[in-house]
């Protein structure tokens, strides 16, 4: 009998083969499988969150259970087992309560192919989940309790967006993908997130690639250039190209087979718009592009900057970049690792762009950047966890986290890109917002204002002798005046929102009981929401208000109890949020939607203009699309005309 086998393995036998033997790992895996089968447990679970890898999360005795194919808020019967790293995983047996955000997946391979994880979630809610995931990672891995987090920038078209596919090939020459957990192969005829040209190429190659194990197909959406690797001379399809070309915002880029390039061309162009907006270059700045790749950002920013220093370590990408920056004399391209080159730079940098691999930046590179001390840093990341870690280092080193903007590059998956803006700490923002409301801060970001948020006073006194609008204006002005005493050289914005039912002012509830009482009183009825905004600049104070009529739906007592238990009502006037997608208390409204949210931008823009503050318009105005009262109207911001319903920006 073989000493390696050590006899026949029986179910009750726990004798292990010698450590390091061929069967050692197999033995451990088999024992784990037997244990999992024996310990599988059927539970009814309510899911509350999403894990970083896209699965929904419930809890069993304070231990997380990860289950694919479920949406937060749903309840399901689940078979739970203990898997890798002794974590608990589950498989849905029966769905008991379905989310209103659940839809039918478009793809017939969904579930068997794990390339898309969220096709069963409506697209709008995917964007919310991604934003929440970024917020959670920033808190858990960076210690940022309340970062300025913008709404996720959506895709204009969430299907057929990928310009790059990497197919696995089986022994029969069929192209397909491999399940991320079970590792089994599935042949596919069509992928709904691939560009149509790639799907046509898939059809032409299907079943004809017997001598290959992997095939890469890349396509220039704006050029019709393509690359198919490896070379397959036996086929009548051109292949083996060393590079292909793509255009971004009218500039052509060469991309070699080993070089990285964004897989979503349309969204890459929108990312460039956001980065250009955040940098706000005047034409004489020195910009460092620390992970330059094929020179995308360097080439796009060079015409707007005085000088760009681009750093890239991959030789293939550097060779591409030499072609891509041709004709741009103000770019210095350096081949090397960012963490090696940055300490050697002897320049006065005005701005830096970081777009590192998924693992993030090396600590030595961040330390070198801190010594370089650019006024502004733009950090582009595809991994919120490593982003949070690096942002903490930069903020501890003297930078202020100005904003984080999630960008959806990969719809129907859990992946999310982020564009983060940091400003050197000794550069004070010109505006102070007196509010702890994340939604108000998000709305102010839409005006392109660089600001810092400070807490508002808690001693709000509401008098029954005052008219409701007077109450709101008094409270807003009091907040602004309190902050102006310590920020006298800044423009200070104070805001206050109240709910008025039968001429009685409802402020923020003091506890859960008062929250439930307010919601019962509002149920099925119409009330007024008044938001007052006060602005103080150079000793001048100005205040005004907007009113909106809101009708509540006839929600149940159980819905009230669940919403109150979430804790959300406690910091909201009237104990509700109009934008809450789960409770969804509002049946309709007449007037300004953003007023109900808590900061009517139409009013704020007018007040800021009256006190002489110039505002730079943002390229994205999606929040304004919800404000039906503003349809067809416009506001002037910094010389630009903002079409507030459609979100378009035109020259004034």
Distance CA 74, CA 94 (A): 11
Between the CA of residue 269 and those of 127, 217, 248, 253, what are the distances in Å? 19, 21, 6, 13
State which H helix or E strand residue 595 sits in: helix 593-597
SS3 annotation, 84-128: HHHCEEEEEEEEEECCCCECCCCCCCECCECCCCCCCECHHHHHH
Cα–Cα distance, 349 to 345 (Å, whole number): 9
| Residues in CB range of 534: below 8 A, 6 or more apart | 473, 476, 477, 479, 480, 481, 493, 494, 495, 541, 542, 543
**Nearest of 218, 601, 212 to residue 444 by alpha carbon:** 601
How do 49-50 and 56-60 pair as beta strands? antiparallel
Within 10 A of 375 (CB to CB), how many other CB atoms are there?
Answer: 16
Burial (Cβ within 10 Å: 0-12, 13-18, ≥19) of residue 159: middle
Separation between Cα atoms, residue 342 and residue 354, nearest integer Å: 12
Host H or E run for residue 322? helix 315-324
Q: Which two tokens stand for residue 187?
A: 């042949």
**Is there a catalytic annotation at residue 558?**
no
C-alpha 2 chain-centroid distance? 56
Q: Cβ contacts of residue 203 below 8 Å, gap of 6+?
A: 189, 190
Distance CA 186, CA 112 (A): 7
- Please state, in angstroms and as integers, the Cα–Cα distance from residue 576 to each residue in 74, 566, 607, following that order: 21, 11, 27
Count of Cβ atoms closer than 10 Å to residue 641 Cβ: 15
Nearest in space to 587 (alpha carbons), one of 500, 516, 522, 503: 522
Contact (Cβ atoms closer than 8 angstroms) between residue 175 and residue 212: no
User: How many whole angstroms separate alpha carbon 246 and alpha carbon 223?
Assistant: 6
Chain mean position to CA 464: 43
Query: Is the previous residue joined to 230 through a cis bond, with omega within 30 degrees of 0?
Result: yes
Measured CA to CA, the distance from residue 27 to residue 24 in angstroms comes to 5
Q: For residue 419, which of 401, 400, 444 has the smallest C-alpha distance?
A: 401
* Burial of 223 from C-beta contacts in 10 A (0-12 / 13-18 / 19+): middle
Per 3-state DSSP, the chain is made up of helix, strand and coil in percentages (nearest 5) of 30, 30, 45
The whole-angstrom separation of Cα 329 and Cα 310 is 13
By C-alpha distance, which of 208, 201, 196, 198 is closest to 170?
208
Per annotation, catalytic residue among 280, 496, 511, 517 = 496
Q: Residues with catalytic annotation? A: 496
């Amino acid at each position: 009998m073989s000493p390696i086998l050590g006899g026949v393995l029986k179910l009750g036998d726990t004798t292990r083969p010698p450590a390091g033997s061929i069967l050692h790992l197999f033995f451990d895996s088999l024992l784990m499988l037997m244990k999992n089968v024996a310990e599988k447990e059927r539970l009814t679970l309510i899911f509350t969150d999403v894990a970083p890898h896209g699965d929904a999360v419930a809890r069993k005795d304070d231990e997380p259970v990860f289950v694919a194919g479920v949406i937060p808020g749903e309840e399901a019967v689940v078979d739970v087992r203990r898997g890798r790293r002794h974590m608990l995983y589950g498989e849905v047996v029966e769905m008991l309560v379905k989310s209103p955000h659940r839809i039918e997946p478009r793809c017939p391979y969904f579930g068997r192919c794990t390339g898309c994880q969220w096709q069963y979630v409506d697209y709008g809610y995917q964007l919310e989940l991604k934003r929440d995931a970024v917020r959670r990672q920033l808190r858990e891995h960076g210690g940022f309790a309340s970062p300025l987090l913008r709404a996720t920038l959506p895709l204009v078209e969430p299907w057929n967006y990928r310009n790059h596919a990497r197919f696995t090939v089986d022994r029969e020459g069929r192209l397909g993908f491999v399940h991320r957990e079970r590792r089994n192969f599935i042949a596919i005829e069509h992928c709904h997130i691939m560009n149509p040209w790639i799907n046509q190429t898939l059809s032409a190659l299907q079943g004809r690639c017997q001598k290959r194990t992997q095939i890469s197909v890349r396509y220039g959406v704006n050029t019709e250039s393509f690359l198919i690797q490896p070379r397959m001379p036996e086929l009548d399809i051109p292949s083996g190209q060393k590079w292909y070309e793509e255009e971004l915002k009218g500039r052509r880029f060469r991309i070699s087979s080993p070089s990285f390039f964004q897989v979503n061309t349309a969204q890459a162009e929108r990312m460039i718009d956001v980065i250009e907006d955040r940098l706000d270059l005047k034409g004489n700045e020195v910009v460092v592009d620390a992970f330059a790749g094929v020179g995308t950002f360097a080439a796009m920013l060079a015409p707007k900057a005085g000088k760009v220093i681009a750093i890239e370590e991959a030789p293939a990408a550097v060779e591409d970049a030499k072609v891509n920056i041709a004709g741009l004399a103000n770019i210095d391209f350096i081949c090397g690792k960012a963490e090696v080159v940055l300490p050697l730079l002897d320049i006065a940098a005005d701005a830096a762009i970081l777009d590192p691999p998924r693992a993030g930046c090396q600590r030595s590179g961040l330390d070198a950047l801190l010594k370089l001390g650019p006024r502004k840093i733009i950090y582009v990341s595809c991994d919120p966890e490593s982003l949070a870690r690096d942002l903490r280092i930069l903020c501890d080193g003297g930078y202020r986290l100005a904003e984080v903007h999630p960008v959806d590059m990969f719809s129907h998956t859990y992946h999310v890109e982020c564009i983060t803006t940091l400003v050197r700490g000794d550069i004070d923002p010109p505006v102070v917002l007196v509010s702890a409301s994340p939604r108000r801060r998000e709305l102010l970001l839409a005006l392109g204002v660089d600001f810092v948020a400070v807490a508002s006073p808690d001693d709000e006194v509401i008098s029954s002798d005052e008219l409701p609008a007077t109450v709101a204006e008094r409270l807003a002005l009091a907040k602004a005046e309190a902050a102006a005493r310590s920020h006298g050289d800044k423009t200070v914005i104070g805001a206050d929102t109240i709910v008025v039912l039968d001429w009685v002012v409802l402020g923020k509830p003091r506890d859960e009981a008062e929250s439930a009482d307010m919601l019962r009183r509002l149920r099925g009825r119409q009330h007024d929401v008044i938001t007052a905004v006060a602005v103080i600049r150079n000793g001048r104070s100005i205040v005004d208000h907007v009113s909106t009529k809101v009708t509540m739906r006839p929600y149940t007592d159980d819905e009230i109890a669940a919403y109150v238990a979430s804790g959300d009502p406690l910091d909201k006037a009237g104990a509700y949020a109009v934008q809450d997608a789960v409770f969804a208390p509002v049946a309709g409204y007449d007037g300004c939607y953003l007023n109900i949210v808590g900061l009517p931008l139409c009013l704020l823009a007018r007040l800021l203009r009256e006190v002489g503050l110039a505002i730079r318009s943002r390229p994205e105005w999606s929040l304004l699309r919800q404000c039906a009262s503003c349809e067809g109207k416009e506001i002037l911001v910094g010389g630009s005309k903002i079409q507030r319903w459609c979100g378009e920006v035109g020259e004034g």
